[in-house]
Structure 1
Amino acid sequence: MTPADALLGQALVEEATKKSGLVWVRGSGPARALWHVWHEGAAVLVGDGPGEQPLPAGLDAGATAEVTVRSKDKGGRIVAWTAVVAVLEPHSEEWEAAVAELKGKRLNAPDAERMPERWARECRVLRLTPGASRTELPDSSLAVPPLPTGATTRQPAPAALHRLLLKRRGRR
């Protein structure tokens, strides 16, 4: 790989990750889709607390993670890269800067003003810094069954519901 190829690879990783709303991150377990913010040359994310996204297993300080970036408009894979994981210490200078960026992008937070304090107490803020290597995208889809979750789906509509709805239309 030439130095020019390395620079183009870094630019691709940065631009794709910066523009994507979600990245797929794999630690030592299955990959998870995580929202993130690109801040000072790395993907920064928050999770593992009440009301926040669950982080994959194995994302500890000094570990490596596989990050796959998707296209924001089409949802397909653009690039995959290896990241070095750093856990940011609450209230450190680096943590404060990262949380300021994350806070602006966090949607539907129930406690927007107290969110940084809650993150400091109950969550982990991680910094995923791109390593020197990019991985080639596979030819197959890599589709796997969804991870178990506590979320439920709607129950089937009652059999007589359509008759009740038709009666209401007829009265108008």
Structure 2
Amino acid sequence: MRSLALIGVLMLSLTACVSQYSISERQLTNYLNDEMHFEVKEGNRFFGIEMKINDVKVKLGHKADTMAITASSLIKVANPLMPLNATMTAEFEAKPWYDADQHSLYLKDLTLVSLSSNPKDLEQAIGQVSPQIMGFMTHFLETQPVYVLDTQEGNQALVAEMTKRIQVVPGKINLIFKD
């Protein structure tokens, strides 16, 4: 009984001292590359498009409360006249927000900043299908969490319950416990 009271006092003193927890760009990048499985297949083998995101990078705080995401994708466009294989790199900016019920970070107000393809001479052809591709990617990134706190792990479970809001600063997102 005495040890339980001591643990309670220790937890209270720790939470009084610590008012935030941070998630780094590297943690977000690793999470997205490990957990995000985005693949689109539309059409058939004669007329269609396949796209798969194969690399994601995150940059935090380059603008106030903003997260930048660079997603590189492999694209195959099937058509009888000119089948295409290319890579496309899209850079988005968005406002991250914390869903306390899901213990997750999500994105809102996703905006396409730039779009490029390789090889460059295919950029015009890719440009014709890019609105459809960007629609898929935007919907996916706005509806899937970009980071989920592990409520099975002791520290993150405590952080998940205590987080009141987030703050984006250069290089990290701070989960703020107190208002």
| Higher normalized strand content (fraction of residues) | 2
Structure holding more helix per residue: 2
Q: TM-score, normalised by structure 1?
A: 0.31
- TM-score when scaled to structure 2? 0.30
